[in-house]
Amino acid sequence: MAGETRGATAGWTAGEWRGWRAAAQEALYGEQGFYRRPEGPAGHFRTSVHASPLFAGAVARLLCRVDESLGRPASLGFVDMGAGRGELVTGVLAALPPEVAARARGYAVELADRPADLDHRVEWLAEPPGGVTGLLFANEWLDNVPVEVAEVDPAGVPRLVLVRPDGTERLGEPVTGAEAEWLARWWPLPPEAGTRAEIGLPRDTAWAAAGSTVDRGLAVAVDYAHTAGARPPFGTLTGFRAGRETAPVPDGSCDLTAHVALDACAGPGARLLTQRESLHALGVAGGRPPLSLASTDPAAYVRALAGAGEAAELTATGGLGDFGWLVEPRGIPDPLR
């Protein structure tokens, strides 16, 4: 229509207000949504998966530990939940010892289309397969599960934040029902105007559903996280486009992400670790190689130096190392203990 800007869908007009959950759902996953774009997430930001093959190697070792605990089943599942372009599952299958690889079945669970050049062994699904014996691993999935945003008004009442396709916000109705209960339990807001929270309820539900598809084995969610007592006072909703942080505008032009209240997602028997702790437990260390290697085997020295740099990035304080790993064993001992 002349003179009218459009949101991520033909049906969302410039003047229409929506809650952030519906707005982000359309902007990320609608027909013209951000995650439907051909370049995939790697075209806009770097996750641990893209930072270094050491990450897939560590996840492959974790899968081997799960395999041992399961008694080496005839079919060992690896589910890459929110798989992007299937980079992690591809790397994990490639890093497995041949005996384990021969029994492994790799699944990529993703809303976007299957990339044309993906390893034919990887099954591409829109939902997790049921009855998995093995490991389900969700790297930076939950932060992209859309949530409502609440903001405290001048009277001290938490209200839903509404948004238009251009990112303009206003306050809507007071938060009620299950969302109000979630806030009270997990992210109580002080009565100061302008303080904000992201209502993580849909993430708790999404994680419980994904985790329940593992019959025996392990479910792991890795993400930017915060826990009770250390919630960010104004929330963390933000945008990313082409490698840069941007204002969160729900028009399909950028990623929309908010850190995850991983403690609220935790199911029975779950444990919350940092990525630094988890990767150290899986043998990823950032130490420099001995200088003597430089003279005996210069090529190996250079390789080891590059590996040490990548390990340091994956475990860095103030960076990827601070990510949370929510680890939920199902019928096996915790393989990271």
Ligand X SMILES: C[S@@+](CC[C@H](N)C(=O)[O-])C[C@H]1O[C@@H](n2cnc3c(N)ncnc32)[C@H](O)[C@@H]1O
Per-residue interface string for the shown chain with ligand X, residues 106-135, x marking contact by CB under 6 A:
---xxxx-----------------------
Q: How far is CA 34 from its chain centroid?
A: 16
Binds ligand X by CB under 6 A, chosen from 7, 41, 77, 200: 41
Q: What backbone torsions phi and psi does residue 277 show, to the nearest 5 degrees?
A: -60, -45
- Helix H or strand E encompassing 293: helix 292-296
Q: By CB under 6 A, how many residues form the interface with ligand X?
A: 17
Separation CA 151–CA 48 (nearest Å): 32
Q: Determine if 211 is a binding residue for ligand X (CB under 6 A).
A: no
Residues 62 to 101 in contact with ligand X, rule: CB under 6 A: 82-84, 87-88
Smallest CA-to-CA distance from 72 within 7, 8, 134, 159 is with 134
Q: Determine if 49 is a binding residue for ligand X (CB under 6 A).
A: yes
Q: Hey, which residues does 132 pair with through a beta bridge?
A: 214
Residue with Cβ nearer ligand X (87 or 313)? 87
* Closest approach of ligand X to the CB of residue 235, in Å: 18
Q: Determine if 146 is a binding residue for ligand X (CB under 6 A).
A: no
Residue with Cβ nearer ligand X (75 or 205)? 205
Residue with Cβ nearer ligand X (110 or 328)? 110
Question: What are the distances in angstroms from CA 237 to CA 2, 35, 126, 207, 275?
Answer: 32, 17, 26, 19, 22
**Which long-range contacts link 299-308 to residues 24+ away (Cβ below 8 Å)?**
307/52, 307/54
Q: Determine if 139 is a binding residue for ligand X (CB under 6 A).
A: yes
Residue with Cβ nearer ligand X (47 or 278)? 47
* Closest approach of ligand X to the CB of residue 157, in Å: 31
Helices of type H across 98-228: 98-101, 177-186, 201-211
* Closest approach of ligand X to the CB of residue 275, in Å: 12
Q: Determine if 140 is a binding residue for ligand X (CB under 6 A).
A: yes
* Closest approach of ligand X to the CB of residue 197, in Å: 21
**Which long-range contacts link 241-246 to residues 24+ away (Cβ below 8 Å)?**
241/44, 242/43, 242/44, 243/44, 243/45, 243/46
Q: Determine if 35 is a binding residue for ligand X (CB under 6 A).
A: yes
Q: How far is CA 309 from its chain centroid?
A: 23
* Closest approach of ligand X to the CB of residue 229, in Å: 26
Separation CA 263–CA 14 (nearest Å): 37
Residue with Cβ nearer ligand X (141 or 182)? 141
Residue with Cβ nearer ligand X (139 or 195)? 139
* Closest approach of ligand X to the CB of residue 33, in Å: 8
* Closest approach of ligand X to the CB of residue 86, in Å: 9
* Closest approach of ligand X to the CB of residue 324, in Å: 14
Q: Determine if 141 is a binding residue for ligand X (CB under 6 A).
A: yes
The tokens for 270 are: 């779950």
* Closest approach of ligand X to the CB of residue 28, in Å: 7
Q: Select the residue whose beta carbon is closest to ligand X and give its number.
A: 82
Which amino acid would we find at residue 306?
A
**Binding positions for ligand X, rule: CB under 6 A:** 35, 41, 47, 49, 82-84, 87-88, 109-112, 139-141, 144
